[in-house]
A and B are shown apart, each in its own frame.
Chain A
Amino acid sequence: MNIHRVTSDLVATYRTASLADKSLRVVEDHSGNLEVALDPVGAKPGDFVITIGISAARIAAGDPRITTDLTIGGIIDHWSEERWRG
Chain B
Amino acid sequence: MKIFRVEGTLVATARIGNLDSHRLLVVQERIGGGKQVAVDPVGCKPGDWVIAVGSSAARDAAGSKDYPSDLTIVGIIDYWEDEGSPGDGRAASAGGEARV
Residues of A within 8 A of B (CB): 1-3, 30, 40-42, 49-50, 52-57, 59-60, 62, 71-79, 84, 86
Query: Are the CB atoms of B70 and A77 closer together than 8 Å?
Result: no
Query: Are the CB atoms of A54 and B12 closer together than 8 Å?
Result: no
Size of the chain B interface, CB-CB below 8 angstroms: 29
Q: A86: which B residues are within 8 A, CB to CB?
A: 32
Q: A49: which B residues are within 8 A, CB to CB?
A: 12
Query: Are the CB atoms of B14 and A2 closer together than 8 Å?
Result: no
Query: Are the CB atoms of A55 and B56 closer together than 8 Å?
Result: yes
A33 to B30, CA, bound (A): 21
Q: B39: which A residues are within 8 A, CB to CB?
A: 1
Scan B45-82; emit 1 where CB is below 8 A from any A CB, else 0: 00000000011101100000011111100000000000
Query: Are the CB atoms of B11 and A1 closer together than 8 Å?
Result: no
Given contacts A72-B16, A76-B10, 9 further A-B contacts (CB under 8 A): A1-B69, A2-B37, A40-B16, A50-B37, A52-B70, A56-B68, A56-B70, A60-B18, A60-B68
B91 within 8 A of A: no
Chain A: which residue is nearest B7 at the CB level?
A83
B24 within 8 A of A: yes
Chain B CB within 10 A, most for which of A1, A3, A55, A84: A1
Query: Are the CB atoms of A56 and B69 closer together than 8 Å?
Result: yes
Chain A: which residue is nearest B38 at the CB level?
A1
